[in-house]
Amino acid sequence: MEQTELLAKDDAFIAEALKLRFHPMTVKSAEGCQLQDSNGKCYLDLTAGWAVANVGYGRKSIAEKIKQQYEELSFTTQLSAPSETMIQLAEKLIDLTPGDFDKKVWFGHSGSDANDLISKFVPVATGRSKMISFMGAYHGQTMGASSLSGHSAQAKFEGRGNVVKIPYPNLYRPFSGISENLTEQSLHFLNEVFQTICPAEDTAGIILEAVQSDGGMIFPPVEFLRALREICDTHGIYLIFDEVKVGMGRTGKWFSFEHAEIVPDAVVLGKALGAGLPISAVVGRKELLDCVSAGHLFTASGNPISTAAALEGIRIIEEEQLLANAEKQGNLFINELKKLAEKYECIGDIRGKGLAIGVEIVEDRMTKKPATLKTAALCYRAYELGLLVYNVGIHGNVLEITPPLSMNSEEVVDSLQLLSQAFMDVEAGNIDLEEVKQYSGWG
Ligand SMILES: Cc1ncc(COP(=O)(O)O)c(C=O)c1O
């Protein structure tokens, strides 16, 4: 079917609730770091499909594993009769996750259902009612995960009333307007919260992303993350890291909190874990995940196909040393993006670790006013030129660079050339902003 026809049907049949669009495109096929649309046009991909395709697209060995697994055992409900693949994957995840204590693993289908477990279980396991999370956080769309979130995407929904949200330390846009001593400021805020609406002794857990990705690719000071660990230890509060988006090697380590050399009580995984198949996991303290028997189960949780794909995906990451590649290509991106920033005043900030990179677009560097429509125009123009890039952030003004971790230097250089051309065209006004408005993604 022609792309125009498919898009018309998409418009007619697919719910808006499921749409976050940056350009008019339907995808026909994909291989490595390239996608092909239904008209046969090719694109270099800086999205990895929202950080899912960490090993790239169309891996033959994963396709073989999925086929073999389906032929041998197409399904078993792991809840009542587990398969070897689920158990092997759990063992592997326990090995990969730091923490010298007894751990267990829970499996689900999406980052949202995994964070929903946190929302349900942490209060029950501790016998304390309250949770703390962060403004700008994106933990998912089910009710528990949405309640923990602080992103504009969830702002329209009433969530659970037990969650207190505090500012995330963003050095570029500090909540107080002052970036000096941001860690101290944020800890002071937390302490005020403990003294008033959320006593530490009633607080069950603190959940956060060590890099707030949908919130705008924000990297908090590592001292802040370390201080949170100490505070949680002092008050017997669980510290949970949501690694759904930047985990599985994206920042150059398996998990982004590892850059702060701290150990969480639970780690939430999803997206890239299944190398394209739906699967999520929570790896955490045994006493947390064992606190309610049959308390968060889904019929196809940890199914044999998804777990077989996940095992092969992890094997590829290890064998091809994709963590090291993420670090190498990430440095290349950042160095070149800095050169681009010398040319374009609208680049307010560039930040990143490995292949988790954000480029913040502003009206001007003094006021830092978010240039939301310009950011959408950059995504749109890039798409027209054959490069896929999305935007994130509560103002929708951060270009998010999260390509497959398998991207090579040549592809990085090609992407940068296309991105540079997009900047040139948008700055020259060669783009219809009215057309772009309908593709502003979150906005
Ligand atoms: C950090 C984080 N947690 C959770 C989720 C929700 O994952 P899913 O869309 O698979 O439910 C996302 C999705 O973007 C995310 O970025």
Q: What's the CA-to-centroid distance between 138 and ligand 1, angstroms?
A: 7
Q: Is 112 in the pocket of ligand 1 (CB under 6 A)?
A: yes
The single-letter code of the amino acid at 114 is: A
Q: Is 47 in the pocket of ligand 1 (CB under 6 A)?
A: no
Q: What's the CA-to-centroid distance between 212 and ligand 1, angstroms?
A: 11
Q: Is 116 in the pocket of ligand 1 (CB under 6 A)?
A: no
Q: Is 213 in the pocket of ligand 1 (CB under 6 A)?
A: yes
Question: Tell me, what's the pLDDT at 443?
Answer: 63
Q: Is 360 in the pocket of ligand 1 (CB under 6 A)?
A: no
Look at ligand 1, atom 13, and give the residue with the nearest C-alpha.
Answer: 140
Question: Tell me, what's the pLDDT at 441?
Answer: 77
The 3-class SS string of the chain reads CCHHHHHHHHHHHCCHHHCCCCCCCCEEEEEECEEEECCCCEEEECCHHHHCCCCCECCHHHHHHHHHHHHHCCCCCCCCCCCHHHHHHHHHHHHHCCCCCCEEEEEECCHHHHHHHHHHHHHHHHCCCEEEEECCCCCCCCHHHHHHCCCHHHCCCCCCCCEEEECCCCCCCCCCCCCCCHHHHHHHHHHHHHHCCCCHHHEEEEEECCCECCCCCECCCHHHHHHHHHHHHHHCCEEEEECCCCCCCCCCCCCHHHHHCCCCCEEEECHHHHECECCEEEEEEHHHHCCCCCCCCCCCCCCHHHHHHHHHHHHHHHHCCHHHHHHHHHHHHHHHHHHHHHHCCCEEEEEEECCEEEEEEECCCCCCCECHHHHHHHHHHHHHHCEECEEECCCCCEEEECCCCCCCHHHHHHHHHHHHHHHHHHHCCCCCHHHHHCCCCCC
Which atom of ligand 1 is nearest to 113's Cα? 11
Domains, the chain, ranges and CATH? 3-55+321-437 (3.90.1150.10), 63-319 (3.40.640.10)
Q: How far apart are CA 154 and CA 173, in angstroms?
A: 21
Q: How far apart are CA 407 and CA 404, in angstroms?
A: 6
Q: What is the CA radius of gyration of the chain?
A: 21
Which is the catalytic residue, given 43, 57, 138, 168? 138
Look at ligand 1, atom 7, and give the residue with the nearest C-alpha.
Answer: 111
Which atom of ligand 1 is nearest to 115's Cα? 4
Q: Is 337 in the pocket of ligand 1 (CB under 6 A)?
A: no
Q: What's the CA-to-centroid distance between 140 and ligand 1, angstroms?
A: 5
- Residue 43 annotated in active site: no
Q: Select from 244, 248, 442 the residue to mutate for testing ligand 1; criterion: most ligand atoms less than 8 Å from CB.
A: 244
Which atom of ligand 1 is nearest to 112's Cα? 11
Question: Tell me, what's the pLDDT at 158?
Answer: 87
Reported pTM: 0.98
Digitized pLDDT (tens) for each residue of the chain, 443 residues in all? 999 999 999 999 999 999 999 999 999 999 999 999 999 999 999 999 999 999 999 999 999 999 999 999 999 999 999 999 999 999 999 999 999 999 999 999 999 999 999 999 999 999 999 999 999 999 999 999 999 999 988 888 989 999 999 999 999 999 999 999 999 999 999 999 999 999 999 999 999 999 999 999 999 999 999 999 999 999 999 999 999 999 999 999 999 999 999 999 999 999 999 999 999 999 999 999 999 999 999 999 999 999 999 999 999 999 999 999 999 999 999 999 999 999 999 999 999 999 999 999 999 999 999 999 999 999 999 999 999 999 999 999 999 999 999 999 999 999 999 999 999 999 999 898 888 988 877 76
Q: Is 111 in the pocket of ligand 1 (CB under 6 A)?
A: yes
Q: How far apart are CA 421 and CA 412, in angstroms?
A: 14
Q: What's the CA-to-centroid distance between 111 and ligand 1, angstroms?
A: 5
Q: Is 212 in the pocket of ligand 1 (CB under 6 A)?
A: no
